[in-house]
Amino acid sequence: MTNELISPLSGLRRLIETDQVGPNENTFLDGKDPVWSPHNKIINVTPGPAWGSELVDQFSSTQTRGMRGPDVARFFTTVRAEYAKMVGMQEGGRALFFTGSGTTGTEAAAGSCRFPSEADSDTPAVITMEIGAFSTAMGNCVENLGRNVVRLKSELGEDLAYDKCREVLEKDTEHKVQLVMAPLNETGTGVTTDPKKIRALLDELKHPALVVIDGISAIGSMPANMTEMGIDMLMGCSQKGIMGTPGIGMLSLSPKAVEKAYEADKALADAGIKKGQHYLHLTKMIDAMDSMGLHIETPGNYAQFAVALDTLAIEGIDRVCERHKDCSEVYRAAVLAAGFELVAKEEHLRSNAVTAVKSPEGFGVKKITEVLNIMFSKHGVEAAAIPGEPNLGWRLCATGGIQPQHAMAASIAFLMACEEAGIPVDVEKGIAAATKTYREVVKYHRPLPGVDAYGR
């Protein structure tokens, strides 16, 4: 039935009358007597595209302003240089922006540093360390590119398999291994790793392989400094910690990585072997940036990226990381006190971007989905399940512009939705613990002069 107060001229009225919006007979809402909520602002606590910053939305052009005009190259170079500073890229390295999502950077890295002897070698050229859905996807990418790869897998919730990595590297006396690839933050399981351990292992063994790190859900959420962590290649994306729309896959390189990429491409060319990569060709991109400073193909939204970098700089990257930690502390307090377990098996592995929560024994995919549906449809909170593990549980994330008050609301929504779905949960204890943590972490906000800090 249509409310007569909705103007007959309104497009909304037409949508309602023609049954194009609102509860569908077959949805979860059937029989729940839902109310209209046209003003809802969904609190999105999925990993990404992240619930971004209103400022980024307000100030970014929706389009890169030209890609060949005067001074565009200088603008692109400046934005990438600012990004390089944020991720602590080493002097003499390169920060590259591939148009696409985070995986474009991963694929460009995964196809690089391939020498002619790789195909016939008994020793792998690439090691991938896999601890969840996204690092498994990274391993698939390397394998699908036809690389000679050894894939070192850990149990879900565990750390990287450093010991197995040591075994492979110790046997590699001829230094055939070129890349050691691992995630800094496994978004699937909410596990944060320590790339410094890979760096230390390579240094100890005097092995020249490159440390290649997937920082796609880490950059802009937790410390991800290439120099401090000894990272040679760092992948990122524009739609998580950077808070923009998807469209840019960043790949930043140490000088050593640049050198090795060229050395390998020259060796392939000398041997008359095609690299098998065109769009995501690493040295081709470096050539383009070093010569014209312009993208050969169409660039992603640099203008939006620039605004996002500014907002992170205004907040201060240390405070950004602290805020993500604050939000994650609220989640952890809520779910642990309510009786849940985290997927991350040890405390030091717990991610400050993704809190992955286990569903209790006997409550599988159907209940997990029901909880997500209740959170969304009743509490206006969008959370996520665990990719690749439909019966494992949920993820409450703190990427992008999430602040403790949103984490608080999302925690309450989660606990209440579990209760409504019939999952054993101590809602009162959970809320009490979340509130206590919220009280400890919440801070006064300092508005930007002349700008409505809340984007109203």
Ligand X SMILES: Cc1ncc(COP(=O)(O)O)c(C=O)c1O
> What residue ranges bind ligand X (CB under 6 A)?
47-48, 101-103, 134, 183, 187, 214, 216-217, 237
What pairing do the DSSP bridges indicate for beta strands 179-183 and 126-130?
parallel
- Quick one: 97 or 134, whose CB is closer to ligand X? 134
Shortest reach from residue 234's CB to ligand X, in Å: 12
- The CB-based long-range contact list for 310-319 (8 Å cut-off, 24+ gap) reads 311/53, 311/55, 311/56, 311/243, 312/86, 312/220, 312/241, 312/242, 313/82, 313/86, 314/448, 317/86, 317/220
- Quick one: 101 or 252, whose CB is closer to ligand X? 101
- Quick one: 192 or 377, whose CB is closer to ligand X? 192
DSSP letter at 34? P
Shortest reach from residue 49's CB to ligand X, in Å: 9
Shortest reach from residue 154's CB to ligand X, in Å: 15
Cα(353)–Cα(343) distance, rounded to whole angstroms?
A: 14
Shortest reach from residue 34's CB to ligand X, in Å: 31
Which has the closest alpha carbon to 52: 397, 335, 351, 446? 397
SS (H, E, C) 306-350: HHHHHHHHHHCHHHHHHHHHHHHHHHHHHHHHCCCCECCCCHHHE
Provide the residue type at 290 as one letter: D
Cα(301)–Cα(61) distance, rounded to whole angstroms?
A: 8
Shortest reach from residue 132's CB to ligand X, in Å: 8
- Quick one: 158 or 172, whose CB is closer to ligand X? 158
Shortest reach from residue 235's CB to ligand X, in Å: 7
- Quick one: 72 or 152, whose CB is closer to ligand X? 152
Instruction: Collect all residues with Cβ–Cβ distance below 8 Å to 263 and sequence separation of at least 6.
Output: none
- Quick one: 113 or 138, whose CB is closer to ligand X? 138
Neighbour order of strands in the sheet with 149-153: 94-100, 247-253, 233-237, 210-214, 179-183, 126-130, 149-153
Instruction: Collect all residues with Cβ–Cβ distance below 8 Å to 259 and sequence separation of at least 6.
Output: none
Shortest reach from residue 218's CB to ligand X, in Å: 8
Cα(388)–Cα(221) distance, rounded to whole angstroms?
A: 23
- Quick one: 217 or 254, whose CB is closer to ligand X? 217
